Amino acid sequence: MFRNQMPRYEILSADAVAVLDKGWRRIVSEIGIQFAKPEAAELFRKAGQQVDGDVVKLDPEFVLEQVAKAPAEFDVQARNPANNVHIGGDQMVFGAVYGSPFVREGEVRRDATLEDFRKLSMLSQSFPELDSAGGVICKPNDAPLDSRHLDMIYALQTLTDKFYMGNVVSGPNAADTIKMTEILFGGRAAIEATPATISLINCNSPLRWDDRMLDAQFEYCAANQPVVLTPFLLMGAMSPVSIPAALTQQLAEALSGIALAQLIRPGCPVIFGSFLSNIDMQSGSPSFGTPESGIGLLCTGQLARHYGLPFRTGGGLNSSQTCDAQAAYESLMTLLPTFLAGTNWVMHSAGWLEGGLVSCYEKFIVDIELLRMLRVEFTPLEIDEESLAFGAHEYRPLLSSTANYERWLKLGGKDATARASDIVAKKLEEYEQPPLDDSIRAELEDFVTRRRAELGD
């Protein structure tokens, strides 16, 4: 966890915020939002909103009343209390890449496996720059589809002692995640008192929350586990090719999802989510690390603060196929604005490649180095008379040159990717599994075995 005490870089005028505010109000009240789960529509109907099938037209004031119930800041516990985090305020919390079906290891790009999932979890455990391995750090394609969520949660619980993200593929998967979290943390009451997971609920943009995600959201909100309500916007595909229009749509989607969360369980923790980039308007392919996404990111932070909500944006996003110059600069083109915006929960902080299709081992290391540098850069200078005295050499040592990983940047003779590959091997070799009580481990294993059998895998 990093406390970002540097100034926020805000680029929206009060007038611009007012225009965007008017915009989402018009969308939710005139067009409405689709909630593809009858229980969701029913909650809105009971609360006096206008429901037509699964489309809900929302009174903006009602939405804001619900949003006001969400806590501005909250804690998430890890099984190692040293790794507990606080979401909101000037805190920044970082998780690794999420959702990639492929991995890249050096020159090889291939299907991700459970072994990759475990190795990437171990790497996430190894680096203090990450507060969480995240959730689906890659998709373990060699594990049976119906039960692989159990394998993933078990790996995150046992190979790391950091908090982890819950599975959101279905309601039952979410329930399994919660059950396993109860086992690890000593029961439902313990995790309802202080959440132990964060889960990603993506909007099926434009303007649609779909059934499987909503099923998962209902489980998590009911258990007081925070969800990140995230409009999934690639401008030119899921939203207009206009940053203001996309920001407006993002507000309509995120705030409506947050309102639902507060109907499920008033006061439950939520995070204003943003995943905002654009497609290439000539090929239609997704682009990351674009200037437009950087601008959107800065605006998103300002808007989330305007509505009093912790927020998620950013990460080491890029469209490159290899861990080359493009991968590096597109990633930093996203990560540096992430720090300028003071993002509270940063997914995809390490390992993202090829538009998120790939979890890359070498890129993971490069991203860790970027995070390390940015933490130094966003630590305020303390300047007083003493800092100018002779002998002030002890003052604020040059962190960038005394702590870099294995001094890999200075080794020369190989390019950065080859050196990163060496670091991966070394870190995996040095990895030590965090200790876990045997009875808890046994209970987790029993649960996984039983559920796997029930699921027929």
Task: Tell me which residues in 366-405 interact with a second copy (CB under 8 A).
Answer: 366, 369-370, 373-374, 376-377, 380-381, 383-385, 387-388, 392-393, 395-402
Determine the interface stretch with a second copy among 61-69, 83-91, 307-315, 319-327 (rule: CB under 8 A). Answer: 319-327
Q: Is 84 in the site for a second copy (CB under 8 A)?
A: no
The footprint of a second copy on this chain (CB under 8 A) covers a number of residues equal to: 84
Cis preceding linkage at 206, omega within 30: yes
Q: Give min distance, CB of 363 to a second copy, in A.
A: 8
Among 115, 280, 406, 437, binds a second copy (CB under 8 A): 280
Nearer to a second copy, 129 or 182 (CB): 129
Q: Closer CB to a second copy, residue 180 or residue 374?
A: 374
What are the beta bridge partners of residue 132? 95, 163
Cβ distance 206 to 238 under 8 Å? yes
Kindly state the DSSP code that residue 83 receives in the 8-state scheme: G
Residue 28: DSSP 8-state:
I
- Cα(75)–Cα(243) distance, integer angstroms: 32
The DSSP-derived string for 339-367 is HHHT-SEE-S-SSEEGGGTEEEHHHHHHH
List C-alpha distances in Å: 167 to 79, 146, 443: 18, 12, 19
- If the CB atoms of residues 271 and 360 are measured against a second copy, the closer one turns out to be 360
Q: For residues 95 and 363, what is the distance between their CA atoms, to the nearest angstrom?
A: 14
The smaller minimum CB distance to a second copy, of residues 81 and 410, is found at: 410
Contact between 344 and a second copy by CB under 8 A: the answer reads no
Determine if 329 is a binding residue for a second copy (CB under 8 A): yes
Q: Does 48 bind a second copy (CB under 8 A)?
A: no
61 binds a second copy (CB under 8 A): no
CB of 279 to a second copy, least distance (A): 7
Q: Which of 56, 122, 174, 416 binds a second copy (CB under 8 A)?
A: 416
Tell me: does residue 340 bind a second copy (CB under 8 A).
Answer: yes
- Candidates 1, 64, 143, 243; binder of a second copy (CB under 8 A) is 243
Answer yes or no whether residue 124 interacts with a second copy by CB under 8 A.
no
What is the CA 127 to chain-centroid distance, rounded? 17
Q: How far apart, in whole angstroms, are the C-alpha atoms of residue 225 and residue 242?
A: 34
Q: In sequence order, what DSSP letters do the residues of 234-263 get, joined into one string? A: EETTTB-S-HHHHHHHHHHHHHHHHHHHHH
Q: Site for a second copy (CB under 8 A): which residue of 89, 187, 266, 291?
A: 291
